[in-house]
Amino acid sequence: HKAVVNARHGPSPWIVVGVVVVVLFAGAVGFGIYRAHQAAAIVVPPNATATGVPIGKSDAPATIDIYLDFQCPVCRAYEQAAGPTVDQLVAAGAARVIYHPVAYLDRSSSTRYSSRSSAASACAAAAGVFVPYLKLLYANQPPENGDGLPEQTLIDLGHQAGAQGDFATCVSDNTYARWTAAVTDAASRQNVTGTPPVLVNGKQIGNTADALRAAVPEAG
């Protein structure tokens, strides 16, 4: 009779609590394994970091961070206006630049061009031709709300920039897609909500060559 009464009242509350704890623990472990797997799956290209592509001497007195999207017309305009100044500062050892090719404007093309071009630029970084590739991507920037550049054009521009080896396979396989996502997520965590913000030693400056020269120590 007691057994029937206990059955009608349901399992012991301690048993319920134990089951809940086990389920929560299993869920936490599973989520931890998932996050660890996701992090391990991000392949960082040679000559890059998990958040961008550094160019220039690591001991330069100034660090310029440029957040860019290859689909962004304003980014293209900034490169045309200030790119030569960036190149001069890097060549003189006055600054190093870290390019962060984010993918915020996938909605502005029918083929997620922001993500595809960023991943292709990672292939260019691996091939040691990131900067000339960047300039070619801007020179051939497709219009917004179109298809974006096709894969073969991304490959051809890489070869034009001097990429060799397995560059074509890297682009075709979208090898660095997860890297692009990681760079974009990292920028979002830094409260970068659009492009192209430019920072010198962590402080945002105006998007002009004059602002860049004024902000970089030893710019001359």
More confident residue, 41 or 142: 142
Cα separation, 180 vs 50, whole angstroms: 9
The mean-pLDDT minimum among 30-34, 41-45, 67-71, 85-89 falls in 30-34
User: According to the model, what pLDDT value does residue 41 have?
Assistant: 75
Question: What phi and psi, each to the nearest 5 degrees, are found at residue 175?
Answer: -55, -35
User: According to the model, what pLDDT value does residue 196 have?
Assistant: 93
Confidence of residue 6 (pLDDT cuts 50, 70, 90): very low
pLDDT one-digit tens code per residue, 131-178: 999 999 999 999 999 999 999 999 999 999 999 999 999 999 999 999
Instruction: Report the run of H or E that residue 2 belongs to, with start and end.
Output: helix 2-9
Residue range 91-104: mean pLDDT, rounded: 97
Is the peptide bond prior to 143 cis by the omega test (within 30 degrees of 0)?
Answer: no
Residue range 197-217: mean pLDDT, rounded: 95
Distance of CA 24 to the CA centre of its chain: 33
Confidence of residue 32 (pLDDT cuts 50, 70, 90): very low
> Helix 73-91 and helix 130-139: axis angle, to 10°?
150
Round to the nearest angstrom and report the end-to-end CA distance of the chain: 95
Burial state string for 69-98 with b = 16 or more CB within 10 A and e = fewer than 16? bbbbeebbebbeebbebbebbbeeebbbbb
Q: Side chain identity at 88, as an amino acid letter?
A: Q
What does pTM read for this prediction?
A: 0.81
Cα separation, 86 vs 198, whole angstroms: 11
User: According to the model, what pLDDT value does residue 79 have?
Assistant: 97
